[in-house]
Structure 1
Amino acid sequence: MVFWEGYVSDELTGTLAPIVVYWLYAGMYQLLPPLDQYRLHTRKEEEQKNLVPLSSVIKGVLLQQLVQATVAGLMFLVTAKPSIAGSLIQPPVHVQLIQILVAMFIMDTWQYFIHRYMHQNKFLYRHVHSQHHRLVVPYAIGALYNHPLEGLLLDTFGGAISFLISGMTARTSVFFFCFAVIKTVDDHCGLWLPGNIFHVIFQNNTAYHDIHHQLQGTKYNYSQPFFSIWDRILGTYMPFSLVTRQEGGYEARILKKTS
């Protein structure tokens, strides 16, 4: 039993919940005070280095989410399973957890190789992926600020493939996609907050992805949103240390790679 049962279908919830969660979680970060003592970049750096205004970022995210919701709705429609007395029997919790772990690995694999290729192909980088890198200093609301083609290939198709191969139900997908959205937003928040559980559990975190957004790190740390497995296996992992800046806050400082 879940709180939306009897009010909204699992399919509609799976379509809309990740969008709602995105704006709630990213909005929470946006409404926080400056918190300069926890920032990975100063506010001055954010103003000087970012090449796109907040209004354009919001429009870009909304466009991606419109496409995302359309594809999700079609996917749920095509894969809908027959129910008994109007309710689909859900697999045991341990099975759902395994499906989520499988989906996490599939999403990471898909996004790593597509993301890396978008950097290696000069045409795709210049005309598609560079839009995301206009945010040299990432912030939460810009997590899904992408070129529409990238949003479709990287995030929307990646999520659909993860759903289909893992075999999860629409209800399980609600938890998976909402978790993926929260993790992605957190990776772009630009803050190293004490007690952030994502920084404790995941090596692929806010500082890890911040390295990728910097000029000297754009060919490294492609992995997103969960693990750093493919970076480590394929030699694109960039080691770094988190140091305290003299003027306050932190800096994810790149360490020299060793062969």
Structure 2
Amino acid sequence: MVFWEAYGISDEVMGTFAPIAVYWIYGGLYHMLPTLDQYRMHSRKESEQQKTQVSMGTVVKGVLVQQAFQAAVALVMFSLTAQPDVKVVQQPLLVQLGQVIVAMFVMDTWQYFVHRYMHINKFLYKHIHSQHHRLVVPYAFGALFNHPLEGLLLDTVGGALSFLVSGMSPRTSIFFFSFATIKTVDDHCGLWLPGNPFHLLFQNNTAYHDIHHQLHGTKYNFSQPFFNIWDKVLGTHMPFSLEKRPDGGYEARPVKNI
């Protein structure tokens, strides 16, 4: 028995609300860190200018709206796929690992093509996706700052497809979606911290996604949240160099002329 069952909480409820809690806890940890100017991807001046364009309150409200939609869809999905008269038996760990890998690939594929199309289609970019790109200087709490329709199409539908195609159980989904949430928050944290395992294990990381958020980089590095396979296959991969700024911190610079 897992600990939440002792409190009468089902796997479905945990799978719905655990990723939301993880988002605010992990994002909060980044928010409580000291200034760490020596590890910033953007100067403090750029970050302060960002706050005058999009307030923290606006970002928090936007994320909460998206998470409300996310929770509603998750509850519906779990209720439609539940088999009340069938006792769910957890698959062996190796099988669950395979399901997670399939889910990662499905999510990456869905998000790449939807994300890229939102840049190609001028109407969708202007009226929907540009909201996320108002955060030219990303930070942890802003990872899910999207137009509600984009949040529904990109993240919520992508997550539902990952769950359904992989065949994972609600319990496995708790860990998968919590991990995906942590990875997404980390990609937007704006810090290049030494020893960060996401920077060591994934080429698609904070600096990789920062290139995409730069004003000149919105035609590149669409892949999220895990790998950069589709960028490399389809020619939208922008390699970069990570260089120290004279005023402290790091800067991700494209190595090709844009």
1:44 aligns with: 45
Amino acid in structure 2 at the alignment position of 1:235: G
What is residue 6 of structure 1 aligned with on the other side?
6
The secondary structure found in structure 2 opposite 1:216 is coil
Partner of 2:147: 147
Q: Give the percent of matched residue pairs that are identical in Structure 1 and Structure 2.
A: 71
Q: CA deviation at 1:154?
A: 0.1
Query: CA shift at 1:228, angstroms?
Result: 0.2
Q: Deviations over 1:37-87 (max 9, x none)?
A: 000001111122452100000000000000000000000000013456xx5
Residue 65 of structure 1 is matched in structure 2 by 67
Query: How do residues 17-166 of structure 1 correspond to structure 2 at under 5 angstroms?
Result: 17-49=18-50, 51-82=53-84, 87-166=87-166
TM-score normalised according to structure 2 size: 0.97
Partner of residue 16, structure 2: 15
Alignment check: 8 A CA contact 1:115 1:222 kept: yes
Alpha-carbon separation, structure 2, partners of 1:49 and 1:235:
30
Instruction: Find the aligned partners of 2:199 and 2:136 in 1 and give their Cα distance.
Output: 21
TM-score (norm: length of structure 1): 0.96
Alignment-mate amino acid for residue 182 of structure 2: I
Contact 1:83 1:89 in 2 (8 A): no
The range that moved more, 248-257 or 129-138, is: 248-257
Where does structure 2 lack aligned partners over 5 or more consecutive residues? none
- Secondary structure of the 2:5 match is coil
Name the aligned partner's letter for residue 228 of structure 1: N
Q: Could you tell me which amino acid in structure 2 is paired with residue 29 of structure 1?
A: Y
User: How many angstroms apart in 1 are the aligned matches of 2:18 and 2:2?
Assistant: 13
Contact 1:243–1:253 under 8 Å retained in 2: yes
**1-structure distance, mates of 2:66, 2:142:** 12
Q: Distance in 2 between matches of 1:82 and 1:201?
A: 39
1:217 match: 217
CA-based RMSD: 1.2
Separation in structure 2 between the aligned mates of residue 195 and residue 132 of structure 1, nearest angstrom: 28
**CA–CA distance in 2 between the matches of 1:88 and 1:108?**
28
CA separation in 1, counterparts of 2:193 and 2:215? 24
> SS of the residue aligned with 1:144?
coil
Sort the Cα spacing of 1:243 and 1:83 in 2 relative to 1 into closer, same or farther, 3 A. farther
Counterpart of 1:190 in structure 2 is 190
Please state whether the residue corresponding to 2:160 is helix, strand or coil: helix
- Structure 1 runs of 4+ aligned residues shifted over 3 Å read none
Letter of the structure 2 residue corresponding to residue 52 of structure 1: V
Distance 1:39 1:2 in 2: 39
CA shift for structure 1 position 257: 6.0
Task: Report the counterpart of residue 174 of structure 1 in structure 2.
Answer: 174
One-letter code aligned to 1:67: F
Q: How many residues align?
A: 256
- Alignment partners' CA distance in 1, 2:165 and 2:200: 29
Which amino acid letter does the alignment assign opposite residue 24 of structure 1? I
Task: Find the aligned partners of 1:255 and 1:184 in 2 and give their Cα distance.
Answer: 24
For residues 251 and 183 of structure 2, the distance between their equivalents in structure 1, rounded to whole angstroms, comes to 20
